[in-house]
Amino acid sequence: MTRHSDPVTVHVPLGDRAYDVRIGSGLIDRAGAEIAPLLRRPRVAIVTDNTVAALHLPRLQGALTVHGIVSEALVLPAGESTKSWPHLTACVEWLLEQRVERRDVVVALGGGVIGDLVGFAAAILRRGVRFVQIPTTLLAQVDSSVGGKTGINSQRGKNLIGAFHQPSLVLADIAVLDTLPTRDFLAGYGEVAKYGLLGDADFFDWLDENGPRLRDEPALRQQAVAHCVAMKADIVVRDETEQGDRALLNLGHTFGHALESATGYSGRLLHGEGVAIGCALAFDLSARMGLCSQESPSRVVDHLRRMGMPAAIRDITGDLPDNSRLIDLMGQDKKVQDGQLRFVLARGIGQAFVSDEVQAGLLSEVLQDAR
């Protein structure tokens, strides 16, 4: 049964690209009322994946119909491999076939894969149309639906083709997370933990106490999602296009993205799992560089393990390329400057910063010991 509670609103004040992120139970049932004020004519194009379509699309379309909004839907295959050129082409061509105009609104209903792909399609369609994010995974609610990073993967690396394109509205219905498989919920938790680790030690303490209860207690879930979104909004407003501080949101991602590429964007390693392992490695590296005490990486790993999450490279099943290949994959990271790798490191829990001073030998050592 869908519960309804008062939504919390986090405003993202980006001038003429400002928008609200609404977080609460039952928001999909109110999507017609929420989206109607954005529309110049009463129709939207929805893009989703097959799993989400079966569970939540009829409810969304019903809620739009009640407000006289006509909708058509494109259903793409679920999974990371959908963030690719062929599916981007299919999505853009379908939107053109639907005669989506410059003043229309496209709706992305799904997890981070759909949000990133559809956001990018909206960025390039007729040189840019507006879009609304309706994130249906924990990961998408706390992270990918906010901030305007959109794009697809390349064989050469994660998210290497994309654009900054902010949504016009985000509707995070925390009740949809009830249908999310545990593995996907925990993958999203990797990004939740990341926020505490990068800049909020008190939040990490709170997660230590409440993390295991987030899945079953809607009030805690709403609190956690709202806190992460507020933290992300604050960083994005300071540095929308990642010239500086925004790179903090990349904690764990230099390692995680290389591991995702190495596993072929397959079900072997989900993005949030890669981020969790990457955070543990970033703290390990920081401790070896003398930036923080050994207590910090130990605490990170203990927390992830207690949550039932992978926390080391050895937790990934199957073969992986050798360390030099992994480091080679890291060379495609978007933080690289003048060919030099840059990492998000930490002076302790909640004290992350960006560094280009990592010695290659130490990096190999960290990877070697983690396998």
Ligand X SMILES: O=C(O)C(=O)C[C@@H](O)[C@H](O)[C@H](O)COP(=O)(O)O
Residues found near ligand NAD in the complex (CB under 6 A): 49, 51-52, 55, 78-80, 83, 110-114, 116, 136-137, 139-140, 143-144, 147, 149, 158-159, 176, 179-180, 184, 187-188, 191, 270-272
For the chain, the C-alpha Rg in angstroms (whole number) is 20
Q: Note if 165 is an active site residue.
A: no
Rounded to whole angstroms, the Cα distance separating 129 from 48 reads 17
Q: Which is nearer to ligand X, 130 or 334 (CB)?
A: 334
Considering the complex, what minimum distance in angstroms separates the CB of residue 76 from ligand NAD? 10
Q: Which is nearer to ligand X, 34 or 116 (CB)?
A: 116
From the candidates 22, 43, 149, 288, which is the catalytic residue? 149
Residue 180 interacts with, from ligand NAD, ligand X, none (CB under 5-8 Å by kind): ligand NAD
From the candidates 253, 288, 334, 342, which is the catalytic residue? 253
The total of other beta-carbon atoms located within 10 Å of residue 146's CB is 27
Q: Which is nearer to ligand X, 189 or 288 (CB)?
A: 189
Task: Pull the structure tokens for residue 229.
Answer: 């979104």
Residue 123 interacts with, from ligand X, ligand NAD, none (CB under 5-8 Å by kind): none
Q: Note if 342 is an active site residue.
A: no
Task: Pull the structure tokens for residue 8.
Answer: 């919390």
Question: What's the per-residue H, E or C state across 333-359?
Answer: CCCCECCECCEEEECCCCCEEEECCCC
From the candidates 34, 240, 242, 260, which is the catalytic residue? 242
Residue 246 interacts with, from ligand NAD, ligand X, none (CB under 5-8 Å by kind): ligand X
From the candidates 250, 260, 303, 334, which is the catalytic residue? 250
Q: Note if 253 is an active site residue.
A: yes
Q: Of 252, 220, 272, which Cα lies nearest the Cα of 352?
A: 252
Residue 140 interacts with, from ligand X, ligand NAD, none (CB under 5-8 Å by kind): ligand NAD
Residue 51 interacts with, from ligand X, ligand NAD, none (CB under 5-8 Å by kind): ligand NAD
Residues that bind ligand X (CB under 6 A): 143, 147, 149, 158-159, 191, 242, 246, 249-250, 253, 334
Considering the complex, what minimum distance in angstroms separates the CB of residue 140 from ligand NAD? 4
Q: Which is nearer to ligand NAD, 49 or 287 (CB)?
A: 49
Q: Note if 217 is an active site residue.
A: no
Residue 52 interacts with, from ligand X, ligand NAD, none (CB under 5-8 Å by kind): ligand NAD
Rounded to whole angstroms, the Cα distance separating 337 from 282 reads 19
Residue 139 interacts with, from ligand NAD, ligand X, none (CB under 5-8 Å by kind): ligand NAD
Considering the complex, what minimum distance in angstroms separates the CB of residue 239 from ligand NAD? 13
The binding site for NAD(+) comprises 112-116, 136-137, 149, 158
Task: Give phi and psi for 241, each to the nearest 5.
Answer: -105, 25
Rounded to whole angstroms, the Cα distance separating 154 from 163 reads 14
Q: Note if 246 is an active site residue.
A: yes
Work out the end-to-end distance of the chain between its first and last CA atoms, rounded to an integer number of angstroms. Answer: 44
Distances (CA, A) of 293 to 47, 226, 229, 283, 290: 46, 31, 29, 9, 7
Distances (CA, A) of 323 to 45, 90, 283, 284, 333: 44, 36, 18, 16, 16
Distances (CA, A) of 120 to 5, 151, 183, 229, 358: 32, 5, 26, 21, 33
**Hey, CA dihedral for 161, 168, 130, 100, is it positive or negative?**
positive
Considering the complex, what minimum distance in angstroms separates the CB of residue 276 from ligand NAD? 12
Q: Note if 194 is an active site residue.
A: no
Q: Which is nearer to ligand X, 32 or 115 (CB)?
A: 115
Task: Give phi and psi for 248, each to the nearest 5.
Answer: -60, -30
Q: Which residues pair with 355 in a beta bridge?
A: 343
Residue with tokens 């299919």: 90
- The answer to whether 332 and 157 have CB atoms below 8 angstroms apart is yes
Q: Which is nearer to ligand X, 242 or 273 (CB)?
A: 242
Considering the complex, what minimum distance in angstroms separates the CB of residue 144 from ligand X? 6
Q: Which is nearer to ligand NAD, 137 or 254 (CB)?
A: 137
Q: Note if 17 is an active site residue.
A: no
Report the length, in residues, of the chain: 371
Q: Which residues pair with 134 in a beta bridge?
A: 109
- Positions marked active-site: 127, 149, 191, 232, 242, 246, 250, 253, 257, 271
